[in-house]
Amino acid sequence: DAKTTQPPSMDCAEGRAANLPCNHSTISGNEYVYWYRQIHSQGPQYIIHGLKNNETNEMASLIITEDRKSSTLILPHATLRDTAVYYCIVRVATGGFKTIFGAGTRLFVKA
Amino acid sequence: DTAVSQTPKYLVTQMGNDKSIKCEQNLGHDTMYWYKQDSKKFLKIMFSYNNKELIINETVPNRFSPKSPDKAHLNLHINSLELGDSAVYFCASSPRRLAGANEQYFGPGTRLTVT
């Protein structure tokens, strides 16, 4: 699985959009970009994933650059409950889940 | 209803002891996993079972022995605990062995502290 690079922490005002970047310059053609988050003292929670097209679900949007070397997770209207560590991982869609989650980005949503 | 549950939530024990962590899922999934999250927050897979059969063993010391009495349960037994075993251990499940990462459901974690 390709390696990812994320900023260690970010702040966001409540109600504003939170844009979390991720670099994955060594991503291969069959690898997807997945985002998870981990709220303090809880297990990881799946957010969204994509291959090359932008994706949107009820939680977030995922914007993947045309060369697929980076992506941005967007939480359109951040709330205090979105304060968590956000992990970007790249991996093939199936075949077992061996990926190591890295350090992630700690997002602080402030009132 | 809790989808993936783990007991205990916290476990404090001394070096050399043997302890077990239990995991149960009520999702009807075929595959279960154990992950370890260290102090640097890196989350790494340890084991995976599919229908009670071991399918992933990621070079974990043999002091760690997973046991799956049925496909809804995957327990983790640790012998001769060491300081380096201190971590948060997460159980997870997925519908099938080749499930995508979006189909994994994690438990709340067990924080193990070895003194």
Comparing B41 with A24, the larger pLDDT belongs to: A24
pLDDT digits (tens, 9 = 90+) for A9-64: 999 999 999 999 999 998 888 888 989 999 887 888 889 989 998 999 999 999 99
Average pLDDT of B69-82?
A: 94
B76 closest CA partner among B11, B26, B29, B1: B11
The sign one gets for the Cα dihedral B69, B27, B48, A105 is negative
**Residue of B9, B33, B36, B104 to mutate for A, most A C-beta atoms under 10 A:** B104
Which DSSP letter does residue A51 get? S
Kindly report the average pLDDT of chain B as a whole number: 88
CB contact under 8 A, B97 and A46: no
A18 neighbors A75 (Cβ within 8 angstroms):
yes
Task: Give the lowest-confidence range in A47-56, A76-85, B39-48.
Answer: B39-48
Q: Indicate if the pLDDT at residue B85 is higher than 70.
A: yes
Chain B residues 57-86 with a CB less than 8 Å from chain A:
58
Reading the block at residue A32, the tokens are 């997807």
Average pLDDT of B45-65?
A: 84
* % of chain B residues with pLDDT over 90: 56
Q: Report the chain B residue with the minimal C-alpha distance to residue A89.
A: B101
Q: Using DSSP, state whether B101 is helix, strand or coil.
A: helix
Q: H/E element holding B66?
A: strand B64-70
Q: What is the pLDDT of residue B58?
A: 74
